[in-house]
Amino acid sequence: MEADGEMTPRKILGAVPAAFQASEADNATTLGGVASTSFLRSDDTDTIVASTATTLLTIQQNGAGDILS
């Protein structure tokens, strides 16, 4: 039996589903590689904690209006 040219080369599906599931699990706990615990929520009370003496938060306004209300 002769193989059709458009059917070759074949790619064997092996561990692809397992690799896909692992990457999806990582996406559930990170955003761009940053842990979800590193973000603040605007719809819930949140606390920022620093463990070093560096600047914790900088707010810069480049226009008129309230920064916080």
Residues with Cβ within 8 Å of 36's Cβ and at least 6 positions away in sequence, in order, are 29, 30
Residue owning tokens 């719809």 = 43
Position 68 scores a pLDDT of: 83
The tens digit of pLDDT for each residue in 23-69 reads: 555 567 787 788 877 887 778 888 888 888 888 888 888 989 988 88
Domain ranges for the chain, please list them: 12-50
Asked whether the whole model's pTM tops 0.85, one would answer no
